[in-house]
Protein backbone atom coordinates (compact mmCIF):
# COMPACT_ATOMS: atom_id res chain seq x y z
CA UNK A 1 0.00 0.00 0.00
CA UNK A 2 1.34 3.44 -0.91
CA UNK A 3 1.99 5.69 2.09
CA UNK A 4 -0.38 8.38 0.78
CA UNK A 5 -3.08 5.73 0.55
CA UNK A 6 -2.19 4.57 4.04
CA UNK A 7 -2.66 8.02 5.54
CA UNK A 8 -5.94 8.53 3.73
CA UNK A 9 -7.23 5.12 4.81
CA UNK A 10 -6.47 6.05 8.44
CA UNK A 11 -8.79 9.06 8.28
CA UNK A 12 -12.02 8.84 10.22
CA UNK A 13 -15.13 8.88 8.05
CA UNK A 14 -16.93 10.92 10.66
CA UNK A 15 -16.36 12.28 14.17
CA UNK A 16 -18.74 11.88 17.07
CA UNK A 17 -19.41 15.26 18.61
CA UNK A 18 -20.52 13.89 21.97
CA UNK A 19 -18.01 14.94 24.66
CA UNK A 20 -15.93 11.99 25.80
CA UNK A 21 -16.81 12.86 29.39
CA UNK A 22 -20.14 11.13 28.74
CA UNK A 23 -18.30 7.83 28.29
CA UNK A 24 -16.60 6.16 31.26
CA UNK A 25 -12.87 5.63 30.76
CA UNK A 26 -12.91 2.25 32.45
CA UNK A 27 -9.28 1.22 32.43
CA UNK A 28 -8.63 -2.02 34.26
CA UNK A 29 -6.87 -1.58 37.62
CA UNK A 30 -3.86 -3.48 36.29
CA UNK A 31 -3.67 -1.58 32.99
CA UNK A 32 0.03 -0.86 32.47
CA UNK A 33 -0.57 2.74 31.41
CA UNK A 34 -2.92 3.43 34.30
CA UNK A 35 -0.30 2.09 36.72
CA UNK A 36 2.48 4.20 35.24
CA UNK A 37 0.83 7.24 33.68
CA UNK A 38 3.16 10.08 32.73
CA UNK A 39 2.88 13.82 32.19
CA UNK A 40 4.72 15.88 29.59
CA UNK A 41 6.01 18.72 31.73
CA UNK A 42 5.56 21.40 29.05
CA UNK A 43 1.95 21.45 30.30
CA UNK A 44 3.20 23.00 33.56
CA UNK A 45 5.97 25.19 32.11
CA UNK A 46 4.89 28.41 33.84
CA UNK A 47 4.63 26.85 37.30
CA UNK A 48 7.87 24.94 36.78
CA UNK A 49 9.64 28.16 35.93
CA UNK A 50 8.67 29.59 39.31
CA UNK A 51 8.85 26.55 41.58
CA UNK A 52 10.06 23.33 39.93
CA UNK A 53 10.38 21.37 43.16
CA UNK A 54 6.96 22.27 44.54
CA UNK A 55 5.28 21.76 41.18
CA UNK A 56 6.76 18.31 40.70
CA UNK A 57 5.77 17.33 44.23
CA UNK A 58 2.20 18.32 43.35
CA UNK A 59 2.42 16.23 40.17
CA UNK A 60 3.34 13.18 42.24
CA UNK A 61 0.57 13.91 44.73
CA UNK A 62 -1.90 14.05 41.83
CA UNK A 63 -1.05 10.42 41.08
CA UNK A 64 1.39 10.64 38.21
CA UNK A 65 4.22 8.13 38.32
CA UNK A 66 6.59 9.51 35.69
CA UNK A 67 7.34 12.71 33.84
CA UNK A 68 8.63 13.53 30.38
CA UNK A 69 10.94 16.53 30.44
CA UNK A 70 11.57 19.15 27.77
CA UNK A 71 14.55 21.30 26.81
CA UNK A 72 17.06 18.55 27.57
CA UNK A 73 19.90 18.74 28.46
CA UNK A 74 19.36 22.25 29.86
CA UNK A 75 16.63 21.27 32.29
CA UNK A 76 18.46 20.30 35.48
CA UNK A 77 15.76 21.73 37.82
CA UNK A 78 13.25 19.34 36.21
CA UNK A 79 15.62 16.40 36.60
CA UNK A 80 16.36 17.23 40.24
CA UNK A 81 12.73 17.99 41.06
CA UNK A 82 11.48 14.75 39.57
CA UNK A 83 14.01 12.74 41.54
CA UNK A 84 13.12 14.52 44.78
CA UNK A 85 9.40 13.89 44.19
CA UNK A 86 9.93 10.19 43.49
CA UNK A 87 8.88 10.53 39.85
CA UNK A 88 10.48 8.35 37.19
CA UNK A 89 12.12 10.20 34.31
CA UNK A 90 12.32 7.90 31.31
CA UNK A 91 11.95 10.31 28.41
CA UNK A 92 12.71 13.87 27.38
CA UNK A 93 12.26 16.18 24.45
CA UNK A 94 15.61 17.69 23.58
CA UNK A 95 17.32 20.41 21.56
CA UNK A 96 16.40 19.13 18.12
CA UNK A 97 18.87 21.23 16.11
CA UNK A 98 21.55 18.76 17.18
CA UNK A 99 19.88 16.23 14.86
CA UNK A 100 17.97 18.32 12.32
CA UNK A 101 20.87 20.71 11.62
CA UNK A 102 24.00 19.09 13.08
CA UNK A 103 27.10 21.26 13.16
CA UNK A 104 29.33 18.42 11.97
CA UNK A 105 29.12 15.02 10.31
CA UNK A 106 29.85 13.23 13.58
CA UNK A 107 26.81 14.85 15.25
CA UNK A 108 29.03 15.77 18.15
CA UNK A 109 26.37 17.93 19.83
CA UNK A 110 23.87 15.09 19.74
CA UNK A 111 26.47 12.69 21.06
CA UNK A 112 26.90 14.97 24.08
CA UNK A 113 23.13 14.91 24.60
CA UNK A 114 23.13 11.11 24.44
CA UNK A 115 25.95 10.96 26.99
CA UNK A 116 24.01 13.21 29.36
CA UNK A 117 20.83 11.20 28.81
CA UNK A 118 22.64 8.00 29.70
CA UNK A 119 24.04 9.66 32.81
CA UNK A 120 20.54 10.77 33.87
CA UNK A 121 19.09 7.33 33.14
CA UNK A 122 16.81 8.18 30.22
CA UNK A 123 15.61 5.39 27.98
CA UNK A 124 13.97 7.68 25.39
CA UNK A 125 14.89 10.90 23.59
CA UNK A 126 12.35 12.65 21.39
CA UNK A 127 12.71 15.16 18.54
CA UNK A 128 9.94 17.55 19.63
CA UNK A 129 9.41 20.00 16.79
CA UNK A 130 10.54 21.40 13.45
CA UNK A 131 10.79 25.13 12.84
CA UNK A 132 8.94 26.46 9.81
CA UNK A 133 12.12 26.89 7.78
CA UNK A 134 13.13 23.27 8.41
CA UNK A 135 10.03 21.74 6.80
CA UNK A 136 9.19 23.60 3.62
CA UNK A 137 9.58 20.75 1.14
CA UNK A 138 9.57 16.98 0.93
CA UNK A 139 13.32 17.16 0.39
CA UNK A 140 13.57 18.90 3.77
CA UNK A 141 11.79 15.94 5.36
CA UNK A 142 14.08 13.49 3.53
CA UNK A 143 17.12 15.28 4.94
CA UNK A 144 15.65 15.18 8.44
CA UNK A 145 14.87 11.46 8.09
CA UNK A 146 18.45 10.72 7.04
CA UNK A 147 19.85 12.69 9.98
CA UNK A 148 17.38 11.08 12.40
CA UNK A 149 18.39 7.61 11.24
CA UNK A 150 22.03 8.39 11.88
CA UNK A 151 21.19 9.83 15.31
CA UNK A 152 19.02 6.81 16.15
CA UNK A 153 21.98 4.55 15.49
CA UNK A 154 24.12 6.62 17.86
CA UNK A 155 21.49 6.63 20.60
CA UNK A 156 20.82 2.91 20.21
CA UNK A 157 24.47 2.22 20.95
CA UNK A 158 23.90 3.92 24.31
CA UNK A 159 20.71 1.97 24.99
CA UNK A 160 18.44 4.94 24.27
CA UNK A 161 15.51 4.99 21.85
CA UNK A 162 15.17 8.01 19.56
CA UNK A 163 11.74 8.99 18.24
CA UNK A 164 9.91 11.84 16.54
CA UNK A 165 6.95 13.74 18.01
CA UNK A 166 4.35 14.99 15.54
CA UNK A 167 2.22 18.07 15.27
CA UNK A 168 -0.26 18.46 12.42
CA UNK A 169 2.00 20.28 9.95
CA UNK A 170 3.73 17.01 8.99
CA UNK A 171 0.44 15.87 7.43
CA UNK A 172 -0.03 18.89 5.19
CA UNK A 173 -0.09 17.75 1.52
CA UNK A 174 2.86 18.97 -0.51
CA UNK A 175 4.12 17.80 -3.90
CA UNK A 176 1.70 15.37 -5.59
CA UNK A 177 -0.36 15.23 -2.39
CA UNK A 178 2.43 13.62 -0.42
CA UNK A 179 3.16 14.89 3.09
CA UNK A 180 6.16 15.00 5.38
CA UNK A 181 4.89 12.18 7.57
CA UNK A 182 4.69 9.98 4.47
CA UNK A 183 8.43 10.56 4.08
CA UNK A 184 9.09 9.63 7.69
CA UNK A 185 7.03 6.44 7.41
CA UNK A 186 8.90 5.47 4.26
CA UNK A 187 12.42 6.46 5.22
CA UNK A 188 12.82 6.09 8.99
CA UNK A 189 15.03 3.11 9.75
CA UNK A 190 14.00 0.28 12.04
CA UNK A 191 15.90 2.05 14.84
CA UNK A 192 13.97 5.32 14.48
CA UNK A 193 10.52 5.38 16.08
CA UNK A 194 7.49 7.64 16.56
CA UNK A 195 5.97 9.40 19.57
CA UNK A 196 2.38 10.01 18.50
CA UNK A 197 0.46 13.03 19.77
CA UNK A 198 -3.19 12.05 19.38
CA UNK A 199 -4.47 15.66 19.45
CA UNK A 200 -2.40 16.68 16.44
CA UNK A 201 -3.27 13.50 14.55
CA UNK A 202 -6.92 14.40 15.09
CA UNK A 203 -6.22 17.95 13.91
CA UNK A 204 -4.96 16.44 10.65
CA UNK A 205 -8.37 14.74 10.36
CA UNK A 206 -7.00 11.27 11.01
CA UNK A 207 -8.32 8.78 13.54
CA UNK A 208 -5.65 8.34 16.26
CA UNK A 209 -6.43 4.74 17.27
CA UNK A 210 -6.39 3.52 13.69
CA UNK A 211 -3.23 5.50 12.98
CA UNK A 212 -1.47 3.86 15.94
CA UNK A 213 -2.61 0.44 14.78
CA UNK A 214 -1.23 1.03 11.29
CA UNK A 215 2.18 1.93 12.76
CA UNK A 216 2.24 -1.03 15.15
CA UNK A 217 5.74 -1.80 16.34
CA UNK A 218 7.03 1.64 15.37
CA UNK A 219 5.36 3.73 18.11
CA UNK A 220 7.16 3.95 21.44
CA UNK A 221 5.17 6.62 23.32
CA UNK A 222 1.90 8.57 23.15
CA UNK A 223 0.79 12.03 24.15
CA UNK A 224 -2.79 11.93 25.37
CA UNK A 225 -4.73 15.17 25.05
CA UNK A 226 -8.25 16.09 24.03
CA UNK A 227 -9.79 18.39 21.40
CA UNK A 228 -12.69 20.74 21.95
CA UNK A 229 -15.83 19.99 19.94
CA UNK A 230 -16.44 22.30 17.00
CA UNK A 231 -12.81 22.91 16.01
CA UNK A 232 -12.43 22.70 12.25
CA UNK A 233 -10.18 19.96 10.86
CA UNK A 234 -7.94 19.44 9.04
CA UNK A 235 -5.80 22.26 10.37
CA UNK A 236 -2.10 22.17 9.63
CA UNK A 237 -1.19 25.39 11.44
CA UNK A 238 -1.84 26.99 14.81
CA UNK A 239 -4.99 26.45 16.83
CA UNK A 240 -6.63 28.62 19.49
CA UNK A 241 -5.63 27.91 23.11
CA UNK A 242 -9.17 26.88 24.00
CA UNK A 243 -8.95 23.97 21.54
CA UNK A 244 -6.91 22.01 24.11
CA UNK A 245 -9.11 20.21 26.63
CA UNK A 246 -8.70 17.89 29.59
CA UNK A 247 -9.10 14.19 28.83
CA UNK A 248 -12.81 13.45 28.71
CA UNK A 249 -13.80 17.05 27.95
CA UNK A 250 -13.39 16.79 24.19
CA UNK A 251 -14.21 14.61 21.21
CA UNK A 252 -11.25 12.21 21.13
CA UNK A 253 -12.21 8.79 22.56
CA UNK A 254 -9.32 7.63 24.73
CA UNK A 255 -10.31 4.00 25.34
CA UNK A 256 -9.71 2.87 21.73
CA UNK A 257 -6.39 4.71 21.81
CA UNK A 258 -5.29 2.92 24.98
CA UNK A 259 -6.34 -0.42 23.46
CA UNK A 260 -4.46 0.35 20.25
CA UNK A 261 -1.40 1.38 22.25
CA UNK A 262 -1.23 -1.99 23.98
CA UNK A 263 -1.54 -3.88 20.71
CA UNK A 264 1.05 -1.65 19.00
CA UNK A 265 3.68 -2.11 21.71
CA UNK A 266 3.65 1.45 23.06
CA UNK A 267 5.88 1.74 26.12
CA UNK A 268 4.70 4.97 27.80
CA UNK A 269 1.64 7.23 27.70
CA UNK A 270 1.94 10.86 28.81
CA UNK A 271 -0.88 13.29 29.47
CA UNK A 272 -0.31 16.71 27.92
CA UNK A 273 -2.35 19.90 27.57
CA UNK A 274 -0.59 22.68 25.71
CA UNK A 275 -2.85 25.42 27.10
CA UNK A 276 -5.11 25.70 30.14
CA UNK A 277 -6.26 28.52 32.41
CA UNK A 278 -5.30 26.27 35.34
CA UNK A 279 -2.81 23.59 34.23
CA UNK A 280 -2.56 21.84 37.60
CA UNK A 281 -6.34 21.50 37.86
CA UNK A 282 -6.41 20.24 34.29
CA UNK A 283 -3.86 17.48 34.82
CA UNK A 284 -5.73 16.34 37.93
CA UNK A 285 -8.95 16.14 35.92
CA UNK A 286 -7.24 14.19 33.15
CA UNK A 287 -5.73 11.59 35.45
CA UNK A 288 -9.07 11.24 37.21
CA UNK A 289 -10.73 10.56 33.89
CA UNK A 290 -8.21 7.81 33.20
CA UNK A 291 -9.33 6.12 36.36
CA UNK A 292 -6.21 6.86 38.38
CA UNK A 293 -7.98 8.37 41.38
Tell me how many helices (H) and strands (E) the chain has: 13, 10
182 pLDDT tier (thresholds 50, 70, 90): very high
Query: How many CA atoms are closer than 13 Å to the CA of 42, on its beta-carbon side?
Result: 18
42 pLDDT tier (thresholds 50, 70, 90): very high
Residue 19 pLDDT greater than 70, yes or no: no
Residue 80 pLDDT greater than 90, yes or no: yes
List, for residues 152-162, the tens digit of each pLDDT value.
999 999 999 99
The backbone torsions φ and ψ at residue 34, rounded to the nearest 5 degrees and listed phi first, read -60, -40
Q: For a pLDDT cut of 70, what percent of the chain falls above it?
A: 89
Pairwise CA distance, residues 288 & 89, whole Å: 21
Is-cis flag, bond preceding 227, omega within 30?
no
* Average pLDDT across the chain, whole number: 91
Residue 20 pLDDT greater than 60, yes or no: no
Quote the pTM value. 0.91
DSSP per residue, 21-85: GGS-----TT-HHHHT-EEEGGGGHHHHHH-HHHHHHHHHHTT--EEEEEEETS-HHHHHHHHHT
Pairwise CA distance, residues 120 & 85, whole Å: 16
Check residue 7 and give its pLDDT: 54
List, for residues 215-265, the tens digit of each pLDDT value.
999 999 999 999 999 999 999 999 999 999 999 999 999 999 999 999 999
Q: For residue 271, give the 3-state DSSP assignment.
A: strand
Question: What domains lie within the chain, and their CATH numbers?
Answer: 29-289 (3.20.20.150)
Residue 136 pLDDT greater than 60, yes or no: yes
Check residue 21 and give its pLDDT: 37
30 pLDDT tier (thresholds 50, 70, 90): confident
Residue 273 pLDDT greater than 60, yes or no: yes
Amino acid sequence: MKRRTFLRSAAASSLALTPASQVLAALAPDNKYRKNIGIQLYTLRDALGKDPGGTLKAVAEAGYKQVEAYGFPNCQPLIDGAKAAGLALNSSHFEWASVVSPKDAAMSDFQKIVEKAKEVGLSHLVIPYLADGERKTLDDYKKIAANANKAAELSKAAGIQLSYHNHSFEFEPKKDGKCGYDIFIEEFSKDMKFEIDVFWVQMANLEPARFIEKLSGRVTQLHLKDLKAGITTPNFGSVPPEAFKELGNGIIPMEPIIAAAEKAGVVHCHVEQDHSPDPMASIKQSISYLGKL
